[in-house]
Structure formats: structure tokens, C-alpha cells
Copies of this chain bind each other. A is one copy, B any other.
Amino acid sequence: MDAIFRALSDPTRRKILKLLSKGEMTAGELAEQFPISAPSMSYHFNILKQSNLVATRKEGQQVYYSLNTTVLQDILLALMDLFGVTAENGREEK
């Protein structure tokens, strides 16, 4: 969870995630959206990959990035635990 929350703490990385929420993109397509140097983009990509928030696949010379939405469930469970929200509290019939 440390790595996930650290990855989420940067606006550039959050913008990358938001772009990927609409579908897979290549490293180049993502980089075009940011007035940021290639090494800085690589740095952000690496942090997102290490935290498992994004997945990559290679096709020829291209690297495709996609959002790993299963991590969202882990984040939500961690937040519910932290804030003392139980499944019981969340039920409407309660």
C-alpha cells in the first residue's frame, strides 16, 4: 500500500491513470500529453508499474500501458479498513 499511495500522490501520475482509464495507450501517446522530458516520463511510468497500478505489454518496438483496475479494489478495502468502515455499515438495509 505504501507504493500505491505514493504513486497516487503526484498529479502527473494521476493524470496518466486518468488517460489510461479510457483505454490502453503507448508510451509515446501518453508522453505527448505532458510537457515533460522523456526521462521524467520514464520515472513516472516506473513508479506506476512498481506500484502495480499499470500493466505493460510490448508489441514490436511499442510499449502499451493499461490500467490495472484490480488494484482499485485493494485500495478501497485498505481505505475501508483505515476509516473503520465495515461491509455492515455500507449496507443500505442496516
Complex CA distance for A56 and B13, rounded to whole angstroms = 31
| Count, chain A residues at interface, CB 8 A | 27
What's the number of copies of this chain in the assembled complex? 2
Is the C-beta of A72 less than 8 angstroms from some C-beta in chain B?
Answer: yes
CB distance from A34 to the nearest CB of B (A): 16
Interface SS majority for chain A = helix
Asked whether, in the complex, the Cβ of B18 is within 8 Å of the Cβ of A9, the reply is: no
Complex CA distance for A8 and B3, rounded to whole angstroms = 10
Interface centre among A21, A75, A81, A84 (most CB of B within 10 A): A84
Which residues in A have some Cβ–Cβ distance to B below 8 Å? 1-6, 8-11, 14, 17-18, 21-22, 67, 69, 72, 75-76, 78-79, 81-85
